[in-house]
Structure 1
Amino acid sequence: MHRIGYVVADGFQVMSLASQTVFEYANVVAGEPFYAIENYSVTGGLVRSSLGMLIETAPLGAPGHAQTWIFTGVNDPLTVAPSAELLAFARLAGGQARRTAGICTGGFVLAEAGLLADRRATTHWAYASELQRRFPDVQVEDDRIYIIDGTIWTSAGMTAGLDLAMGMLEKDLGAEVARSVARKLVMHQRRTGGQSQHSELLALAPKSDRIQSALDYARLNLAGPLSVEALAEHVHLSPRQFTRVFTAETGQSPAKAIENLRLEAARLMIEQSRHSLETVARETGFRDRRHLREVFLRGFGVTPLAVRRDARGS
C-alpha cells in the first residue's frame, strides 16, 4: 500500500486537501485500497484551517511513515512562516521519501527547507516573483500548472493540486485509471503539468489603445508573418518606437508575445479540434509540424501529441 501524508499547519488553505479525493477515487477504480491517506502536523491534534475548520492530525514522526509527503499551502506565505520543526521534517522527507510535494504556496516550505535549490518549481502566480526573490537558486516557472523535478513536485494555485495528484496517480497506476478517476470527478480536462496557469491573451494587458490594437491584429492574423514592421505599421509607429512602447507596456518583446499567443492558439486547437498537427502549425503561424513541436517543448515542457492524448482521454 502506498501511504500519503498531508502536512498541515495552522492557517492552512482547506482547498489543499481537495486533492485527497483523487487518491480516494483511485482506490475505488482500482477495486482495492492502493492508497492510504493521513493528515499530519508537527504536534498532532486539532489544526485550524484559514476558514476556521478544524481537522484531526497525527504528529509528525519518521519520514518513513509515508512514501509521498505533500505540504499544504496557506493564503499568504508572506505572513505565515514555517516552524523550525516543520522545516527539519521537510528536509528529512525530501531525502528519504519517494516523492515530496508542495501544493500552491506549500512550495515556500520546500524552498525554505532547501529542497528546491537548483530545481525547477512553480507556485501560485501571485507569489511566484516573491519565491524567486527569496530563493534565487530556485528556477521558478510562474506559468506552469505543476512541475516535477526529480522526486520534488510543486503545483500552482489550489485547484492545480488536483492536477498534481492526477499526475502522481498516472505514474502509479497508469493513464487508464487516471482517465477513469478524472471522469468520476467530472474534471472537464485533466491538465498536464506543462499547461499555463493563465491565459496569455489576458496576461499581456497593455495600457494604450495602440498596443491593444496591435495585439488584436496579431490574434486575427496568427497564420501570417507578423513581423515587428507589420505590427508597427498597423498602429502607425516606427518599428523602433513600437518595440520600445510594446515592451514597456507588456513586459515582453513583440517576438516573445507573438510566440506565446501562437502557442496558446495552437494548444487550444490541439485540445479542441481534430485538425492534424500540420494544419495546426500552419493556422497558428509555425513553419511546420517540427517547428511547432520544438516551440511547444520549450514553452510547455510537453509535446503537442501528449496534450492531444490527454485532451482526448479526458
Structure 2
Amino acid sequence: MVEGMERHRVLVVGYDDAELLDIACVTTTLDAVRVIDPGLGYDLTLATPGGRAITCSSGLVLNAQAALERVRGPIGTLVVSGGLGHQDASRDERLVGHVRRLARESERVASLCTGASVLAAAGLLDGRRATTHWHFAQRLAEEYEKVTVDPRPIWVQDGNVYTAAGVTSALDLSLSFIEADFGGDVARWVSRAMVTYLHRPGNQAQMSVFTAAPAADHLVRKVTDHVAERLDGDLSTVALARLARVSPRHLTRLFRAELRQTPGRYVRSARLAAAAQLLSASDLPVSRVAARCGFASAEALRQAFAREYGIAPSQYRSVSSTTA
C-alpha cells in the first residue's frame, strides 16, 4: 500500500445550525482510510466555539473534541462546514478570526456548502473562484464582490483553497483529498467501501436541466418539454420559435426571463446533460451517445464536453459509470 505516510491532521469547524451531513460526509469518508491500514489515514477533530456541543440543523446535538480558540497548527486540512447557521457564523467576528488564523497554519483549506460564506467573510476567497450550494450562490456573489462565484461545479479548487457545493459533494471532495494524499488505489477502495461511485470530477454540474423546476411560462415549458423529447431533432432557435408560434427574438426574451439563458444555451445544456447520463448509465459507444443527443459526431460531443466540463467524455465515463 502506501509506506512511510504520516497521518494527516484534519480540523472540521462546526457551529450551531451546521448541516450534520456535511460534517459526516467528510469525517466518515476520511476515516475509512484507516480500515485499510491503521498506520494510514487522518486524525479528525471537530472544533466549535468554546468547545461547546452544537445543535445541527436537523436538531441532533453533536459534541466537539476541541475549542476553536485553543487549536494551534500545523493543520493538514481545515474544513468549514455549511448549514443554515452559516450567516450567523459568518457574522461572528471571533469565529471568522480564528478560521482566518488557522487557515494560515493549514496546508489545505476547504468549505462545504454554505460554509463558503465563512471563508469569504475571512477574506480567504478574495480574488478566487469558488462555489457553494446553487440555492445560495447568488447571495454569496452579491455579499462578497471580490469572490468569483460559480454555481455550476460540485467543487472547485483555487490554489490550496477548496469549496464544495455541499451535502453529498462533500463526499466527492473528500475522495479527491484521499487520492491526493494516499493515491488512486486507496481512493477507489474507499469509494467501494462507501458504496458510491469513484468520486465525480469537481466540474460536474450540481444540477441538471432535467431536475430543475419546470418553467412557469406555458410557452417556455412547451419548448423545454419538446427539447427533452427530441434531443436529436432540429432544436435551432428558429425551429423552437416556430413550435411556440412566436418570433425567435420573443422566444429568446421569454427564455432569458424564465431560465436566465438563451434557447440555444438551454439546448446545449440539455444535450450535454443527456449525454452525461448515457455515458454513466450505458455502455453505448460515444458515437451513439453523440447521435442520440443531437451532436453531429463523437468529436463534436468531445469538444462540447471539454468546453463545458473540462473533461473528455471517455474520462467522464471512467469515473462515473454505473455499468461496471
TM-score, normalising length: structure 2 = 0.88
Please tell me whether residue 278 in structure 1 is matched to residue 284 in structure 2: no
* Mapping for residues 47-86 of structure 1, pairs under 5 Å: 47-50=54-57, 51-60=59-68, 61=70, 63-86=72-95
How far did residue 264 of structure 1 move? Answer: 0.3
Structure 2 gap ranges (5+): 1-6
Q: Among residues 182, 202, 216, which one is paired with 1:207 in the alignment?
A: 216
Q: Do the aligned residues in 2 keep the contact of 1:145 with 1:160 (CA within 8 Å)?
A: yes
How far did residue 135 of structure 1 move? Answer: 0.8
Q: Among residues 1, 7, 12, which one is paired with 2:13 in the alignment?
A: 7
Q: Among residues 255, 262, 270, which one is paired with 1:246 in the alignment?
A: 255
Structure 1 distance, partners of 2:229, 2:303, is 23
Structure 2 distance, partners of 1:122, 1:214, is 30
Q: Do the aligned residues in 2 keep the contact of 1:46 with 1:57 (CA within 8 Å)?
A: no
Which stretch shifts more, 19-28 or 195-204? Answer: 195-204
Equivalent residue for 2:232? 223
Which stretch shifts more, 98-107 or 244-253? Answer: 244-253
Structure 2 distance, partners of 1:56, 1:242, is 54
Please tell me whether residue 27 in structure 1 is matched to residue 34 in structure 2: yes
How many residues are treated as equivalent by the alignment? 314
* Mapping for residues 115-134 of structure 1, pairs under 5 Å: 115-134=124-143
Q: Do the aligned residues in 1 keep the contact of 2:116 with 2:132 (CA within 8 Å)?
A: yes
Which stretch shifts more, 69-78 or 57-66? Answer: 57-66
Letter in 1 for 2:29: V
Q: Cα RMSD (Å) of the superposition?
A: 2.2
Which stretch shifts more, 193-202 or 100-109? Answer: 193-202
Equivalent residue for 1:43? 50
Letter in 2 for 1:20: T
Q: Give secondary structure in 1 for the equivalent of 2:53.
A: strand
Letter in 1 for 2:272: L
How far did residue 76 of structure 1 move? Answer: 4.4
Structure 1 gap ranges (5+): none
Q: Do the aligned partners of residues 217 and 259 (structure 1) sit closer, same or farther apart at CA in structure 2, a change above 3 Å counting?
A: same
Equivalent residue for 1:260? 269
Q: Do the aligned residues in 2 keep the contact of 1:63 with 1:97 (CA within 8 Å)?
A: no
Q: Give secondary structure in 2 for the equivalent of 1:203.
A: coil
Structure 2 distance, partners of 1:125, 1:75, is 14
Which stretch shifts more, 138-147 or 7-16? Answer: 7-16
TM-score, normalising length: structure 1 = 0.91
Equivalent residue for 2:154? 145
User: Aligned residues: percent identity?
Assistant: 32
Letter in 1 for 2:202: G
Q: Among residues 271, 287, 297, which one is paired with 1:288 in the alignment?
A: 297
How far did residue 83 of structure 1 move? Answer: 2.4
Equivalent residue for 2:167? 158
How far did residue 288 of structure 1 move? Answer: 3.1
Q: Do the aligned partners of residues 177 and 284 (structure 1) sit closer, same or farther apart at CA in structure 2, a change above 3 Å counting?
A: same
Q: Do the aligned residues in 2 keep the contact of 1:104 with 1:155 (CA within 8 Å)?
A: yes
Q: Do the aligned residues in 2 keep the contact of 1:104 with 1:154 (CA within 8 Å)?
A: yes
Note the alpha carbon deviations across 1:8-50, whole angstroms, 9 max, x for none: 1233222222121111111112453321111112432433433
Structure 2 distance, partners of 1:157, 1:47, is 19
Q: Do the aligned residues in 2 keep the contact of 1:102 with 1:155 (CA within 8 Å)?
A: yes
Q: Give secondary structure in 2 for the equivalent of 1:69.
A: strand
Q: Do the aligned partners of residues 93 and 287 (structure 1) sit closer, same or farther apart at CA in structure 2, a change above 3 Å counting?
A: farther
Structure 2 distance, partners of 1:225, 1:185, is 42
Structure 2 distance, partners of 1:93, 1:306, is 36
How far did residue 242 of structure 1 move? Answer: 2.0
Q: Give secondary structure in 2 for the equivalent of 1:64.
A: coil
Which stretch shifts more, 114-123 or 240-249? Answer: 240-249
